[in-house]
């Protein structure tokens, strides 16, 4: 074996070990979470633990229903707000924005993505929550709160801006840069010939964006949305600051509530016994949800072609 072949073999071994270490770390994390969660899952039962709303420290009875629902509800509300905003930003930057202003807005988006979550939480607690309580919550309560059947879900029954809605708005702000970044990169790859053909047929800019650009990047956009959902599901400190951390029935979107991450952040240091195992169980479910979300996102983003 020549010197070059030896170096090439060493390089392959080192690179393979580096790649294998990533898989080993992920597997070790999953195994640790599962082993630590077994006492709670064995005591309460897998299905009963998932569906139970009890979280009683004195009786050591714990259920994951409320933290799980709060986690997915806050992420869904965040996506409802963030997706239109991120898509609008991407369209503006790629189709409308002057070149001199494009770099400034793109840099601001990158800065939003780089801000630590604890800063988002502090800003949300002292600035966003009071603003939403004063201006947004009364408006939503007076309009959507009057709808039949679902109106009670939008009523402001509890005073204060620290609630599920505020947590969702914080998450929406945090995931906008991720969705808009992926959408912007995909839109930049739309063949100019397609847009020029649309304009040549008499289509307006709005019609071109709606019927040519957005359909062309729909797979990439879907992948970005799923990836952003994974980011929203796992956010901890920002949510813990503004959601209220209240184990109680959810009366409306303006009620204090809990998520998996907020429960873990507030109770992990003082937990022990079954409570600690229950927290590990919540972490295991969150790990699995994020794994599935990111797997789906990579599958969508790794498609062969973005087509209409």
Domains of the chain, CATH where assigned? 66-301 (1.10.3720.10)
Reported as half-sphere exposure (CB side, CA atoms, 13 A), residue 137 has a value of 24
For residue 61, what are the β-bridge partners?
56
**Tens of pLDDT along 271-289?**
888 999 999 999 999 999 9
Residue 167 corresponds to which tokens in the numbers above? 């947590």
pTM for the complete prediction? 0.90
Identify the pLDDT of residue 258: 96
Identify the pLDDT of residue 269: 86
For residue 244, what are the β-bridge partners?
257
**Tens of pLDDT along 163-181?**
999 999 999 999 999 999 9
Residue 112 corresponds to which tokens in the numbers above? 């939003």
Identify the pLDDT of residue 223: 86
pLDDT at 129 > cutoff 90: yes
Name the strand (E) or helix (H) holding 62.
strand 61-62
Identify the pLDDT of residue 193: 92
pLDDT at 157 > cutoff 60: yes
Residues 53, 63 contacting (CB under 8 angstroms): yes
Identify the pLDDT of residue 156: 78
Identify the pLDDT of residue 55: 93
Would you place residue 159 in the very low, low, confident or very high pLDDT band (cuts 50, 70, 90)?
low
pLDDT at 304 > cutoff 60: no
Please enumerate in sequence order all residues whose Cβ is within 8 A of that of 241, keeping only pairs 6 or more positions apart, or say none.
118, 121, 122, 124, 125
Would you place residue 149 in the very low, low, confident or very high pLDDT band (cuts 50, 70, 90)?
confident
Identify the pLDDT of residue 5: 83
Give the span between the Cα atoms of 137 and 159, in whole angstroms.
10
**Tens of pLDDT along 96-121?**
999 889 989 999 998 998 999 999 99
């Amino acid at each position: 074996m020549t010197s070059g072949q030896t170096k090439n073999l060493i390089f392959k071994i080192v690179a393979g070990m580096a790649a294998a270490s990533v898989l080993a770390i992920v597997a070790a994390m999953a195994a640790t979470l599962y082993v630590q969660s077994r006492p709670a899952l064995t005591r309460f039962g897998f299905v009963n633990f998932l569906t139970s709303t009890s979280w009683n420290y004195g009786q050591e009875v714990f259920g994951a229903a409320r933290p799980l629902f709060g986690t997915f509800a806050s992420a869904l509300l965040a996506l409802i707000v963030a997706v239109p905003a991120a898509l609008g930003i991407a369209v503006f930057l790629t189709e409308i924005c002057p070149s001199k202003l494009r770099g400034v807005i793109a840099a601001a988006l990158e800065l939003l993505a780089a801000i630590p979550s604890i800063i988002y939480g502090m800003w949300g607690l002292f600035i966003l929550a009071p603003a939403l309580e004063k201006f947004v919550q009364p408006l939503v309560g007076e309009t959507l709160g009057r709808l039949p059947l679902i109106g009670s879900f939008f009523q402001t029954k509890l005073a204060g801006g620290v609630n599920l809605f505020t947590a969702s708005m914080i998450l929406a702000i945090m995931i906008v840069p991720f969705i808009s970044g992926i959408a912007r990169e995909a839109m930049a790859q739309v063949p100019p010939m397609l847009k020029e053909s649309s304009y040549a047929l008499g289509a307006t800019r709005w019609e071109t964006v709606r019927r040519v650009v957005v359909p062309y990047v729909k797979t990439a956009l879907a992948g970005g949305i799923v990836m952003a959902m994974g980011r929203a599901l796992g956010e901890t400190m920002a949510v813990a600051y503004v959601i209220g951390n209240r184990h109680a029935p959810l009366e409306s979107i303006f009620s204090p509530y809990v998520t998996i991450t907020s429960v873990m952040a507030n109770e992990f240091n003082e937990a022990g016994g079954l409570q600690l195992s229950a927290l590990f169980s919540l972490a295991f479910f969150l790990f699995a949800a994020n794994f599935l979300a990111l797997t789906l996102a990579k599958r969508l983003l790794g498609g062969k072609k973005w087509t209409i």
